Amino acid sequence: MKIFFILALAWHVSTADDPCHPCHCINQNIACSNSGLTAVPTSTFRNLPNAKSYQMLDLSNNNISDLPQDAFANLAIQTILLNNVSLVSMHLNAFLSVSTNLTELQIADNKIKTIPTALEKLKVLQKLDIRNNPIVGSEFDDKVFQSLGNTLKEFHFGSPTISQWPLTLTHFPKLEVLDMDGSKIQWLPFTAFHGFEFTLKNLTIRNTELFQVPQAISSLVHLQTLNFDNNVNVGDNGILASAFTNPDDVSGSSSITHLSLKNNSLTTMPSVLRKLTRLQTLEMDNNQMWYISDNSVINIQSKNLSDLSLQNCNLDRIPHSLLRLSSLKSLDLTGNRIHSIELNDISQHNMTKLYLSNNPVEYVSDDAFRNMPDMTEISFAGSKLKHLPHALMNIMTSLKTINLDGCDVECTCDLTWFSGKIDLNRIQIIGDCETIEKSVEDYMIQRVPKCPP
Ligand SMILES: *[C@@H]1O[C@H](CO)[C@@H](O)[C@H](O)[C@H]1NC(C)=O
Ligand SMILES: *[C@@H]1O[C@H](CO)[C@@H](O)[C@H](O)[C@H]1NC(C)=O
Ligand SMILES: *[C@@H]1O[C@H](CO)[C@@H](O)[C@H](O)[C@H]1NC(C)=O
Ligand SMILES: *[C@@H]1O[C@H](CO)[C@@H](O)[C@H](O)[C@H]1NC(C)=O
Ligand SMILES: *[C@@H]1O[C@H](CO)[C@@H](O)[C@H](O)[C@H]1NC(C)=O
Ligand SMILES: *[C@@H]1O[C@H](CO)[C@@H](O)[C@H](O)[C@H]1NC(C)=O
Ligand SMILES: *[C@@H]1O[C@H](CO)[C@@H](O)[C@H](O)[C@H]1NC(C)=O
């Protein structure tokens, strides 16, 4: 009772003391998300000491249908998050006091039907997220976009109401990051990226009805990252080689270093990888690959590929063809159907991370993982392993993390062989024993030393 009283008192004092109430002041942030707000707490901001020292205001996940005039008076905030607040409208001068301070605005997952003219007043806005609003038509307001174009570097849009590429994007000559998330668009014009061919570095196109990688991508001279995910109409024939031909590179090789092609109904490594000689990261998760042939891996021409992710690709063994990728540092095979790890399945000398989580692995050859002196992390989480594989000895000098989470490890005195050889101060073992209510690590530290020699 007494404790309850003290706690209640402490709670009372702390909320009353919080000058951001009903929000919370956390360092330079004003945190108001999930607070059941039905309006912007303008009076709180007006009375806030040092109001101009705050940098971020998070109002997400509330019920704020309208932004009135000068909703952020007294603040000089740089980032405002207003995602998922049932926002319908905003006053033309909603951002009056912060118009020369606001650099990032997120208004995703709302009910806005036209691009708000209030955005025209934002003089220094660099990042805008308007995803998943029922914006009607495909031509976003010319005048608003022209005005935003003076400063905008990052733009996120997309919703099921969009069925044509918005050509008004041409007003964004400084754009570096573009993200279209969701649309009924099936085709992009060749001029889609006109206006920012030389500035765009990151392009994301996801959850669309496109049938092909758009040709227009070849106009992006300095593109580094292409995330082309969840476009399930695409398939193998939709990964067009011509989309990756960089007009500015005489050798015809692409500038792309990071490529993601998740969930595009692919069955093989696309031959266009030949052109991606600078590739460092390749993600092909959620495609039905079944197996990966030598011929398809030969397409990977980059000598620099360090990260490969093949999650949920229906692979029933570690494809031997991957051994060709000698520069690999990280290989993610989470969520496949791999039962066993054989002697020569994997041996890339520079490998540091290997993820085999959520595979039905039950056998690991004692001689696996040889000649991999830099391995720091290995995961068998969610597998059928009941024992620590002896092969771990082959990588023990460099290893830092062994993940056996969800693996029902049989903790018995048999583990003596293992704990005698490892330094538990350096290596973290994640996972619990099946036989006793303890973590594997605690068992090794507390019980194994008491086992008979
Ligand atoms: C949206 O906000 C409401 C609260 O207004 C919350 O219950 C809901 O979980 C939020 N949705 C998402 C996707 O965050
Ligand atoms: C949000 O507020 C409106 C009234 O402004 C109300 O009709 C609606 O039910 C509220 N929605 C939620 C999720 O509370
Ligand atoms: C906000 O903008 C004004 C006008 O440009 C400027 O004087 C002030 O320094 C800015 N404040 C912050 C915290 O950036
Ligand atoms: C752009 O791509 C790089 C990887 O090439 C990534 O690290 C970065 O977070 C991306 N930036 C944005 C804003 O998406
Ligand atoms: C693949 O993309 C489709 C379309 O966006 C989506 O509905 C589905 O959930 C995605 N699947 C996975 C595994 O991400
Ligand atoms: C290889 O990748 C490194 C960064 O990991 C980069 O500095 C280097 O320029 C790349 N080499 C080539 C030939 O692309
Ligand atoms: C392994 O890494 C070293 C040092 O970064 C590098 O010199 C060597 O070329 C790499 N090996 C392969 C096969 O990429």
pLDDT digits (tens, 9 = 90+) for 64-78: 999 999 999 999 999
**What would the two tokens of residue 428 be?**
């973290």
* CA 65 to centroid of ligand 1, rounded, Å: 14
Tell me which residue has its CA closest to atom 1 in ligand 2. Answer: 63
Cβ contacts of residue 315 below 8 Å, gap of 6+?
A: 289, 290, 291, 292, 333, 336, 337, 338
**Residue whose CA is closest, atom 9 of ligand 7?**
327
Q: Which atom of ligand 4 is nearest to the CA of 258?
A: 5
Answer yes or no: is pLDDT of 421 > 80: no
Q: How many Cβ atoms from other residues are within 10 Å of residue 391's Cβ? A: 18
For 16, the token pair is 């009353």
**Ligand 4 pocket, Cβ-based, cut-off 6 angstroms:** 154, 177, 202, 224-225, 258
Residue 414: per-residue pLDDT: 85
Mutate-to-test residue for ligand 3 from 100, 124, 125, 151, highest number of ligand atoms within 8 A of CB: 100
Reported confidence tier of residue 129, pLDDT bands at 50, 70, 90: very high
Ligand 5 in reach of 232 Cβ (< 6 A): yes
Ligand 7 atom with least separation from CA of 326:
13
Predicted confidence (pLDDT) per residue in 373-402, tens digit? 999 999 999 999 998 999 999 999 999 999
Residue 326 in contact with ligand 7 by CB distance below 6 A: yes
Any idea which residue has 């011509």 for tokens? 242
Q: Cα(295)–Cα(300) distance, rounded to whole angstroms?
A: 10
Q: From ligand 3's centre to the CA of 134, what distance in Å?
A: 33
Q: Domains (ranges, CATH) in the chain?
A: 1-185 (3.80.10.10), 187-325 (3.80.10.10), 338-453 (3.80.10.10)
Total length of the chain: 453
Supply angle C-alpha 137, 141, 146, rounded to 5.
145
Residue 129, amino acid:
D
* Run of H or E residues at 260: strand 258-260
Nearest CA to ligand 2 atom 2: 63
Ligand nearest to the CA of 265: 5
The residues, any chain, with a CB within 8 Å of residue 212's CB and separated by 6 or more, are 234, 238, 239, 240, 243
Quote the percentage of the chain above a pLDDT of 70.
95
CA of 328 to the centre of ligand 7 (A): 9
Phi, psi of 142 (to 5 degrees): -55, -45
- Asked if pLDDT for residue 253 goes beyond 90, the answer is no
Which atom of ligand 6 sits closest to the CA of residue 303? 13
- Residue whose CA is closest, atom 11 of ligand 5? 263
- Average pLDDT, stretch 328-357? 95
- Average pLDDT in the chain: 91
Nearest residue (CA) to ligand 7, atom 11 = 327
Tokens linked to 168: 């008004």
**Which pLDDT belongs to residue 30?**
95
* Nearest ligand, measured from the Cα of 124: 3
Has residue 11 got a pLDDT over 70? no
- Indicate whether residue 151 lines ligand 7 (CB < 6 A): no
DSSP three-state, residue 251:
coil
- Nearest C-alpha to atom 10 of ligand 4 is from which residue? 202
Strand, coil or helix: 129 = strand
Q: Which of 405, 409, 441 is nearest to 423 (CA)?
A: 441
The full DSSP string for 188-242 is --TTTTTT-TTT--EEEEES---SS--GGGGG-TT--EEEEES-TT--GGGS-GG
Ligand 1 midpoint to CA 26 (Å): 22
Cα(117) to centroid of ligand 3, in Å?
Answer: 22
Which ligand places an atom closest to the C-alpha of 347? 7
**CA atoms lying within 13 Å on the CB side of residue 259:** 26
pLDDT tens digits, one per residue of 183-221: 999 999 999 999 999 999 999 999 999 999 999 999 999
Q: Is the CB of 327 under 6 A from ligand 7?
A: yes
The phi and psi torsions of 160 (rounded to 5 degrees) equal -65, -10
Does residue 446 have its Cβ closer than 6 Å to ligand 6? no
